[in-house]
Amino acid sequence: MFYVIADTKTEANGKESFHFIKASIYEKPSFAKFLNMIDKGLIMYDIRIGSYKTGKNMGKVHDHGSGFRIMEKNLCKLYAHHEKVE
């Protein structure tokens, strides 16, 4: 997995551009570590359901799907190898 940090900028024409600052490469994830990190509360299950706040769909529910959330500082705990690229 690559985790990239970049500055973003919106051009006058509305096009978004990126300036990459640094990246990290993570290799060899562990399912056992994943389950252990869930037990410890370091990885959270996230149900991403919301409702539209404005517009023609105001009040209607929308589902962005469920997923897992982990803080950046804990990513290295999930993988056997981590390398920084600057």
On the question of pLDDT at 19 being above 90, the answer is: yes
- Which domain range does residue 12 map to? 2-85
Average pLDDT of the residues in 41-55: 92
Task: Render 18-81 in DSSP notation, one character per residue.
Answer: EEEEEEEEEEEE-HHHHHHHHHTTSEEEEEEEEE--SSTTTT-EEEEEEEEEE-GGGGGGTEEE
Q: Model confidence at 69, in pLDDT bands (50, 70, 90)?
A: very high
H or E element at residue 39: helix 31-39
Average pLDDT, the chain: 93
User: What would the mean pLDDT of 34-61 be, rounded to a whole number?
Assistant: 93
pLDDT of residue 50: 87
**How many structural domains are present in the chain?**
1
Report DSSP state, residue 55. Answer: S
